[in-house]
Amino acid sequence: MAGLIKKVSDSEIGMKIKEKLYPKYDLNPVTGSRLVIANAIKRFRDCENKKNRYQIKTEIQAYKKFWTCYPYDYFVCNLYRNDNPVTEDEIINYIPYFFWYYLYLPHYTSYKLSTIIGNKIATEQFFQSLGIHQPKTLFRIINGNLYSPEMGRCTFHQIQQEIIDNSFEKIFVKPAWGGGSKGIYIFHKNESGFYTTHQNITFNENFLSNIGRTSDYIVQPGIVQDQGIARIYPGSVNTCRLITENIDGISRVVCGVLRIGRGKNEVDNASAGGLFLKIDITNGRVGNHAMSYEYEKFSAHPDTHFVFNNFTIPQWDEIRKFSTESADRLPFFSHLGWDIALTVNGPLAIETNLNPGIEVLQIPYGGLREAFGITDPDYFWKNPGKRLTK
């Protein structure tokens, strides 16, 4: 019976039913999509500069006819606004989120090794074995116990001594599971040599013992980012979110955005209020305007007043090469979302994501259908699941 249920669930009919329930009952991939869509619908309802009802209905029908999906991105990307005129070809260039997560990605990628990418501790050890440059690890918290980078048991005194010897400016405590900067503690060294967060949490043995009761963590010192990137906004590590595609053993960077913190945020995630700029992947030049999930537009950073026009990401060729070479070493996965920081010692991978979100990317790109070469959505509906032959 279980096999029959799964067969129906994974069939074209099953996918049609799931699409009707999306995103309210969506368990995959993250709650972020639901929140983005909910905020977009509210923004639509509050908008006083909408196109007329007939035009909105006509555009939505054209979208649904091509994709057989409800166009949530029509609302996320503000395509209903009078000041955002779009042709039918431009509308259908936006990939539906359901289609992306449930039909397109599963068609290419095997999820048998998803734990390796889903767990930061497993990812860190896997990357180390492959020689993929990543942040230094101080120690790990696993089942409430402290482990060194070599996976030997260690004490808080040993950890404290290493921190004192190296005099790190920041310490990041990251939960092994999860993303979007959720659950991260960022500690700063104060004048007394102690480490505290902006919420006055102190880094000590008692803190580690408390958090270790409920989850596993990886602990890393802060990195020193390239000054060319830092001058945009020095309060966070500003990363390149790049999606790589590895089809038939050939990797390429398909698209990417530069993510920037703002408003005293210490992380650059768009879901945490950060900004993002489209990257021209051929030369590393960013767009003229940064944007937010709320569809705000900025020609200059609102805090530092850094002007984005004509800014080119330093060492872009090196960053792109690092991304494709890293993707080459992970041929198990077709599509990966990389968070890459440019440090004083070159690029490194902060993390990678097996279900890379396209919500933040489609806004500045004007859709990604052409970038991923999707010409026949019906093929994916009729062949749900991983492709068995080339």
**Tens-place pLDDT, residues 59-68:** 999 999 999 9
The pLDDT confidence band at residue 176, using thresholds 50, 70 and 90, is very high
Beta strands in the chain (DSSP E): 139-142, 145-147, 170-175, 185-189, 195-196, 217-221, 240-247, 250-260, 275-278, 290-291, 297-298, 335-343, 346-353
- Inter-residue contact 105 to 76 (CB < 8 Å): no
Take residue 186 and report the two structure tokens written for it: 């960022």
pLDDT in tens, 90-104: 999 999 999 999 999
Peptide bond connecting 23 to the previous residue in cis, omega within 30 degrees of 0: yes
- Inter-residue contact 20 to 102 (CB < 8 Å): no
Is the pLDDT confidence value at 6 over 80?
Answer: no
CA separation for the pair 14, 6 (Å, rounded): 9
In this predicted structure, what is the pLDDT of residue 30? 46
CA separation for the pair 292, 270 (Å, rounded): 6
The pLDDT confidence band at residue 342, using thresholds 50, 70 and 90, is very high
Determine the average pLDDT of the residues in 308-316: 95
In this predicted structure, what is the pLDDT of residue 75? 93
pLDDT in tens, 272-309: 778 999 999 999 999 999 998 777 899 999 999 999 99
Pick the range with the lowest mean pLDDT from 10-19, 58-67, 139-148, 224-233. 10-19
In this predicted structure, what is the pLDDT of residue 265? 78
Q: Are β-strands 170-175 and 217-221 bridged in parallel, bridged antiparallel, or unpaired?
A: antiparallel
Cα 95 from chain centroid? 17
Peptide bond connecting 29 to the previous residue in cis, omega within 30 degrees of 0: yes
Is the pLDDT confidence value at 32 over 80?
Answer: no
- The 10 Å Cβ neighbour count of residue 183 is 15
- Inter-residue contact 288 to 308 (CB < 8 Å): yes
- Inter-residue contact 377 to 68 (CB < 8 Å): yes
- Inter-residue contact 72 to 23 (CB < 8 Å): yes
Proportion of the chain above pLDDT 90, given as a percent: 70
**DSSP assignment letter at 286:** B
Q: Are β-strands 275-278 and 170-175 bridged in parallel, bridged antiparallel, or unpaired?
A: unpaired
In this predicted structure, what is the pLDDT of residue 29? 46
The pLDDT confidence band at residue 390, using thresholds 50, 70 and 90, is very low
Determine the average pLDDT of the residues in 64-75: 93
In this predicted structure, what is the pLDDT of residue 27? 59
In this predicted structure, what is the pLDDT of residue 180? 62
Taking phi first (over 0 means left), then psi (-120 to 50 degrees means alpha), and beta for anything else, what does residue 274 get?
A: beta
Domains of the chain: 2-109 (no CATH), 114-129+226-353 (3.30.470.20), 139-221 (3.30.1490)
Is the pLDDT confidence value at 369 over 50?
Answer: yes
Q: Which one is predicted more confidently, 369 or 110? A: 369
Determine the average pLDDT of the residues in 25-52: 78
Q: Which amino acid, 9?
A: S
pLDDT in tens, 196-220: 998 999 999 999 999 999 999 999 9
Give me the chain's average pLDDT, please: 89
The pLDDT confidence band at residue 31, using thresholds 50, 70 and 90, is very low
* Longest Cα separation, the chain: 69
Rounded to two decimals, the pTM is: 0.90
- Inter-residue contact 103 to 15 (CB < 8 Å): yes
Determine the average pLDDT of the residues in 39-53: 92
Take residue 350 and report the two structure tokens written for it: 């902060």
- Inter-residue contact 197 to 187 (CB < 8 Å): yes
H/E element holding 347? strand 346-353
Q: Which one is predicted more confidently, 386 or 349? A: 349
In this predicted structure, what is the pLDDT of residue 7? 59
pLDDT in tens, 207-261: 999 999 999 999 999 999 999 999 999 999 999 999 999 988 899 999 999 999 9
What string of DSSP letters covers 314-335?
TTHHHHHHHHHHHHHT-TT-SE
Which strand ranges, in their side-by-side order, compose the sheet holding 250-260?
A: 297-298, 290-291, 275-278, 250-260, 240-247, 335-343, 346-353
The pLDDT confidence band at residue 388, using thresholds 50, 70 and 90, is very low
In this predicted structure, what is the pLDDT of residue 147? 96
Cα 3 from chain centroid? 33
Is the pLDDT confidence value at 4 over 70?
Answer: no
- Inter-residue contact 360 to 257 (CB < 8 Å): yes
In this predicted structure, what is the pLDDT of residue 173? 96
The pLDDT confidence band at residue 383, using thresholds 50, 70 and 90, is confident
Proportion of the chain above pLDDT 70, given as a percent: 92
Question: Residues, the chain, total?
Answer: 390
Is the pLDDT confidence value at 158 over 90?
Answer: yes
- Inter-residue contact 239 to 350 (CB < 8 Å): yes
